[in-house]
Amino acid sequence: MSDLKTALEGAAGEGIISSDQASRLLPYLAERNIGVKAAAVRNDLSQPREDDVANPLEDSEAPRFIRGFHDVLITIGIIVLLSGLWGLAGYYATLPAIIILAEILVRRQRLALPAVVLTIALIHWTFSVTVMYFGMQNAGSPSLMTSWIMIALPFPPLLALYYWRYRVPLSLAMLLFSLFALLLAGVFYLIGLAAGVSNVVLNYPLPSFGIMFAAALGAFAVAMRFDLSDPGRRTRRSDVAFWLHLATAPALLYTAILLVFQLEAGNSGTFFFAGMEHGGYVQALTIVAIVVVMMLIGLIIDRRAFVTAGLMSLGVAIGAILRQNNAGLDKVSFIVLMIVGLIVLVIGVGWPHLRRAVVRLLPASVQGKLPALR
Q: What is the pLDDT of residues 161-188, one digit of tens each?
A: 999 999 999 999 999 999 999 999 889 8
How wide is the angle at C-alpha 78 spanned by C-alphas 75 and 81, nearest 5°? 150
pLDDT tens for residues 132-145? 877 654 444 445 67
144 and 84 belong to one structural domain? yes
> How many structural domains is the chain composed of?
2
CA distance 63 to 80: 24
b/e map of 158-197 (b: 16 or more CB within 10 Å)? bbeebbeebebbbbbbbbbbbbbbbebbebbbebbeeeeb
Residue 308 lies in a domain: no
127 and 251 belong to one structural domain? yes
Out of 267, 289, 323, pick the residue that ends a domain: 267
Answer whether 60's CB lies under 8 Å from 238's CB: yes
CA distance 268 to 272: 9
Q: Amino acid letter at 78?
A: I
Q: Write the DSSP string, 329-346.
A: HHHHHHHHHHHHHHHHHH
18 and 72 belong to one structural domain? no
Name the band, by pLDDT with cuts 50, 70 and 90, for residue 271. Answer: very low
31 and 121 belong to one structural domain? no
Answer whether 254's CB lies under 8 Å from 246's CB: no
pLDDT tens for residues 82-122? 999 998 887 888 999 999 999 999 999 888 899 999 999 99
Out of 242, 267, 292, pick the residue that ends a domain: 267
Return all residues near 111 (Cβ < 8 A) that are at least 6 apart.
67, 70, 71, 74, 105
How wide is the angle at C-alpha 258 spanned by C-alphas 254 and 261, nearest 5°? 135
Answer whether 264's CB lies under 8 Å from 286's CB: yes
Q: Is the dihedral of CA 71, 75, 76, 77 positive or negative?
A: positive
pTM of the complete model: 0.78
68 and 45 belong to one structural domain? no
114 and 174 belong to one structural domain? yes
What is the predicted pLDDT for the residue at 337?
Answer: 87
Residue 261 lies in a domain: yes
Distances (CA, A) of 292 to 208, 214, 347, 357: 24, 20, 12, 15
Domain of 87, in residue numbers: 64-267
Residue 364 lies in a domain: no
Residue 143 lies in a domain: yes
136 and 254 belong to one structural domain? yes
124 and 229 belong to one structural domain? yes
> Residue 290's CB: how many other CB atoms inside 10 A?
21
Return all residues near 192 (Cβ < 8 A) that are at least 6 apart.
142, 143, 144, 145, 198, 199, 200
Residue 116 lies in a domain: yes
What is the predicted pLDDT for the residue at 15?
Answer: 64
Q: Is the dihedral of CA 232, 217, 159, 128 positive or negative?
A: negative
Q: Write the DSSP string, 71-108.
A: HHHHHHHHHHHHHHHHHHHTHHHHHHHHHHHIIIIIII
Q: Write the DSSP string, 2-34.
A: HHHHHHHHHHHHTTSS-HHHHHHHHHHHHHTTS
Out of 237, 267, 297, pick the residue that ends a domain: 267
Q: Helices 145-152 and 112-130, interaxial angle, to 10°? A: 140
**CA-based radius of gyration for the chain:** 25
108 and 253 belong to one structural domain? yes
136 and 95 belong to one structural domain? yes
Residue 311 lies in a domain: no
29 and 154 belong to one structural domain? no
7 and 75 belong to one structural domain? no
Residue 320 lies in a domain: no
Report whether pLDDT(41) > 70: no
Residue 142 lies in a domain: yes
Lowest model confidence (mean pLDDT) among 159-163, 278-282, 369-373: 278-282
